Structure 1
Amino acid sequence: MDWSFAIAEAQARIAPHIRRTPVILADLPGLPEMELKLEHLQHTGSFKPRGAFNTLLSRPVPAAGVVAASGGNHGAALGHAARALGYPARIFVPELAGPAKIALIRATGADLTVVPGVYDNALAAARAHEAETGALQVHAFDAPATVVGQGTLFAEWEDQGLSADTVLIAVGGGGLIGGAAAWLGTRRRIIAVEPANAPTLNRALAEGPETEVAVSGVAANALGARKIGRIGYDLCREANVTSVLVADQDITAAQALLWRALRQWVEPGGATALAALNSGVYRPEPGERIAVLVCGANPAPDPLAETQD
């Protein structure tokens, strides 16, 4: 597959439906100057609408509509995209998605089912619904159209003048890091950052793509896939992606830093890439130009939940 060509096509395809999110130069206390792409300002508060819109605009959608399993952000994005394009959507989420993300999905008008257990349990339910109804399954991370859609983020970032030598990106199931690897290849160094309590890609790179891990911790409802997607895994191998792990306390410290220094309130998954720098897990070389993706803005609990009806 010519990933670069597919991503360029997708970028034009989805442009009317997504926000071109801002990039800023940030001088954070104790850290070198870095580029931050504020993708948490995307529709529904994450990068996920890129893959959702690309899928729905590049494939025929049956009368039964679309179905997906999600830890939260993918479900909200697919619900938003389906509503914008006039399709019914059925979303299955595990209980650990949490009330804020569950409320966000419901607000899109999608038909939502909360499933006991973890993401894999929600995926099994979504596949059963697909088999029963013929709905189009939109995988959260391990599908070409999803990975291509997420890759548009990095094409857009380069259009905006990305100058970094190294880009730090949080990893869950592998759709986002796969999109980064598909577009950037080895032209820039890619650092994959995961919670130590959800080391999905890290373990797979060490032990093989079928490796499954237990997931827990503060970012589990965003970065909690038990097994990495095979597409993302293969692309990371080809792009020589480097994997690092951060502790939960490092993630929450990065959350606090983004709020205190920049007044950007993000979910733990959205702060995970920055945590690698802020904690010293990743130390740039002298003169190394750094960029960090801030990818999600749906914390639990919702800070304004008590003021809403």
Structure 2
Amino acid sequence: MTLLEHHDVEQAARRITGRVRPVTITPAQPTTTADGTPYELFFALEFMQHTGSFKARGAQSFLQAHLESGSLPDAGVTIASGGNAGLACAWAAGEQNVPATVFLPETAPAVKVDRLRGYGARVELVGQEYAEAAAACDRFAAESGALVSHAYDHPLIAAGAGTVLPEILTRVPDLDTVVVSVGGGGLFSGVTAAATRHGVRVVAVEPEHCRALHAGLAAGQPVDVAVDSVAADSLGARRASAMAVAAARSEHVDAVLVADADIIRARRELWEEHRLAVEYAAGAALAGVRAASAYVPSPGEKVAVILCGANTDVADLAAGRP
């Protein structure tokens, strides 16, 4: 896989303009590092995006590219995902009256199934595990000719996700650093492609026990890892994409690991201090500059943390639970 380039993000931005919500940027309260060094912190509220996560950008980029090229089959698009990627795929397809078939395990929560159907998708429940649903999705694509989408490992998906960075720069043009939580690496790959062009440092944040990117860097290629984290529902990819591993080799990238306790603490901070109800994945990004193991900004550094999604149960926040 070749490294994603800035022009890929530019092309994605052209395709999705007017089809997604521009990201909202808000400054955080005056912020210091653990040793008292002051820096400027901004939140990129991407959880306000259509379907509640940045995934809407990649889904639109993927679909619009195939519509423009005339390569979208009559059978439409299909994906195996009960998470944010599946929701985004179903939503983007519904916006264009394109058939979408989403495969989930039979154990999928009814609320997700209902929401997918609300976007107009055909939902197929197969097996007890994700792997069985993914295999059924592949069989369906082979039999029907439907176009297979992916949660993160596709250049059109990653480039679409990366369009959030140029939007952040329109509000904070002298931004020094952007902080991104990493699962499979689609958002990270796209953001890094854009950030490198603009001289912006990228901090990639993973949970200690969902470290697909770290493992890929150590091995020199994508490898499978075990996943076990409070943020595994969003960041629990078993392997990072080749694009992400290649992007992480840049001298402009720092990769950090954070503990679940730090993720929980950061997510609760966002709720208690800002009344922002986000996923643990978004909490992981903030933990990337809050935890003891985190990236340490320099004095006066301008840092934007991408709060990537909000498809979460807010009852635990309201009740004061982790």
CA distance, structure 2, for counterparts of residue 35 and residue 192 of structure 1: 16
TM-score, structure 2 length as denominator? 0.86
Q: Once the 2 structures are TM-superposed, how far is the Cα of residue 101 of structure 1 from its aligned partner?
A: 4.1
Deviates more, 1:130-139 or 1:2-11: 2-11
State the secondary structure of the residue aligned to 2:249: helix
**1:17 Cα deviation (Å)?**
0.9
1:307 maps to none
In structure 1, the residue matched to 2:73 is 62
- By how many angstroms is 1:30 displaced? 6.0
Per-residue Cα deviation, 1:237-271 (whole angstroms, up to 9, x for no partner): 24642211111121111111111111110011122
Alpha-carbon deviation of 1:179? 0.1
Q: For 1:197, what is the secondary structure of its paired residue? A: coil
Query: For 1:168-220, what per-residue CA distance to the aligned partner results, in whole angstroms no more than 9, with x for missing partners?
Result: 10001111000011111271211100111211101111122231101122111
2:57 corresponding residue in structure 1: 50
Tell me the distance in 2 between the aligned counterparts of 1:174 and 1:8.
Answer: 19
Residues 45 and 87 (structure 1 numbering): CA distance in 2 closer, same or farther, change over 3 Å? Answer: same
1:262-281 superposed Cα distances (whole Å, 9 cap, x missing partner): 11100111221001222232
2:284 to 272, 284, 298: 272
Query: 3-state SS of the aligned residue for 2:74?
Result: coil
CA distance, structure 2, for counterparts of residue 81 and residue 123 of structure 1: 20
Q: Give the equivalent residue in structure 1 for 2:10.
A: 8
User: In structure 2, do the counterparts of structure 1 residues 80 and 25 end up closer, same or farther at CA, with 3 Å as the change threshold?
Assistant: same
- Answering whether residue 24 of structure 2 is matched by residue 22 of structure 1, we say yes
Q: Which residue of 2 aligns with 1:124?
A: 135
1:197 aligns to what?
209
Distance in 1 separating the partners of 2:214 and 2:106: 25
- Aligned to 2:152, which of 141, 166, 169? 141
Deviates more, 1:56-65 or 1:23-32: 23-32
Equivalent residue, structure 1, for 2:302: 289
Structure-2 change in CA distance of 1:192 and 1:48 (3 Å) = same
Q: Which moved more, 1:180-189 or 1:24-33?
A: 24-33
Structure 2 residue 225 is matched with structure 1 residue 223: no
Distance 2:263 2:125 in 1: 27
Distance 1:23 1:36, change over 3 A: same
C-alpha distance in 2 between matches for 1:289 and 1:221 = 30
Give the alignment's Cα RMSD to 1 decimal: 2.4
Aligned residues: percent identity? 39
Note if 1:34 corresponds to 2:47.
Answer: no
User: Structure 2 counterpart of 1:9, which letter?
Assistant: Q
- Tell me, which stretches of 5 or more residues in structure 2 are unaligned? 34-38, 317-322
What CA distance in whole angstroms lies between the structure 2 residues aligned with 1:94 and 1:63?
A: 25
Q: Are 2:152 and 1:150 equivalent residues in the alignment? A: no
Query: C-alpha separation between the residues in 2 aligned to 1:98 and 1:208?
Result: 37
Q: CA deviation at 1:148?
A: 1.2
The 10-residue stretch of structure 1 (228-237 or 261-270) with the greater mean CA deviation from structure 2: 228-237
Q: Give the 5 Å matches for 1:246-265.
A: 246-265=258-277
**Counterpart AA for 1:263:** R
How far 1:289 sits from its partner (Å)? 2.2
Q: Secondary structure at the match of 2:225?
A: coil
Instruction: Tell me by how many angstroms 1:84 deviates.
Output: 0.3
Greater CA drift, 179-188 or 230-239: 230-239
CA distance in 2, matches of 1:146, 1:27: 33
Separation (CA, whole Å) in 2 of partners of 1:114 and 1:180:
33
Q: Which has the larger radius of gyration?
A: 2
- Deviation, 1:151, is 1.4
Contact kept, 8 Å, 1:73 with 1:101, in 2: the verdict is: no
The answer to which of 235-244 and 35-44 deviates more is 235-244
Q: 1:33 is paired with a residue of what secondary structure?
A: strand
Match for 1:63: what amino acid? D
Task: After TM superposition, list the pairs within 5 Å mapping 1:70-85 onto structure 2.
Answer: 70-85=81-96
- 1:98–1:300 Cα contact (<8 Å) kept: no
For the pair 1:105 / 2:107, whether they are aligned, the reply is no
- Out of 82-91 and 108-117, give the one that drifted further: 108-117
1:182 is aligned to 2:193: yes
Secondary structure, counterpart of 1:209 in structure 2: coil
- After TM superposition, the score normalised by the length of structure 1 is 0.90
Conservation of the 8 A alpha-carbon contact between 1:47 and 1:150 = yes
